[in-house]
Amino acid sequence: MATLGGQLKFRESISARLGDVLSMMYIVSASLKRYQEDGAHVEDLPLLQWVCEDSFANIEDALDGVLRNLPARPVAWLIRPLVFPLGRRARPPRDSVNGNIAEILQTFNASRERLTATCYVPAEREQALGLLDITMRKVLESQDLEKRVLQAYKDGRITSDHPAERIEQGAATGVLNATEANELRELYSLLLEVISVDDFESAELKMVKATNRKKARGSNAVSTQAA
């Protein structure tokens, strides 16, 4: 700032990088405060670790970008040893940390409850978020049954590659009892509902295409008249 003075506002990339540094510092401070106020639970550490490591890596990237693009090159060379006395040392979170967080987010536990305490999670299946929550619970509850069906498939007692057909074969061969088969049928129905997307018939698509062409021709006609 001392070398650029008023020119800093015209050096938008440099000022943006400095803004990124400030933002990352705020995020780390807020995360540390949240961790402390939540009770400093050990099981929450992967979440805090990910935020801090990711933020520190982004801070180093931003500061390195400032020094590489600072117009006063002698000043940049003098400042770099002060900013990075031991070189760049921050690294993004490891895959193991990402894995720990994925497990926290994809299972029902105290850390996830604390993280989503202020989030609205509807209980109704008709709402998208509620459907996702219900399906996730069902997936976790049915893990042992799915493993049993998979093992039966590997053993050759079940031969179909289709999930729905595997359930029926499992029920027919005694791998699943009636109650267990119904549970997996319900799970399969929920999963289909979650991954289903809007489906349009060919006639509908052709109609939309024709409508768009008419609009385009009308717009071109108006432009020609105006000219």
pLDDT of residue 71: 79
What are the per-10-residue average pLDDT scores of the chain (227 residues)? 66 82 96 94 94 96 88 82 88 92 91 89 86 92 94 93 93 94 94 81 72 68 56
Question: Tens digits of per-residue pLDDT, 6-54?
Answer: 666 657 787 888 889 999 999 999 999 999 999 999 999 999 999 999 9
Burial 150-166 (b: 16+ CB within 10 A, else e): eebbeeeebeeeeeeeb
Place of tokens 């399969």: 188
Whole-number average pLDDT of the chain: 87
Phi/psi at 45 (nearest 5 deg)? -60, -40
pLDDT of residue 79: 86
pLDDT of residue 221: 57
Cβ atoms of 52 and 6 within 8 Å: the answer is no
Q: Is the dihedral of CA 97, 100, 106, 112 positive or negative?
A: negative
Rounded CA separation 34/27 (Å)? 10
Of 84, 92, 86, 90, the closest CA to residue 68 belongs to 84
Cβ atoms of 93 and 85 within 8 Å: the answer is no
Rounded CA separation 52/28 (Å)? 6
pLDDT of residue 10: 59
DSSP string for residues in 162-185 = SHHHHHHHHHHHTSS-HHHHHHHH
pLDDT of residue 13: 80
What's the predicted TM-score (pTM) here?
Answer: 0.69
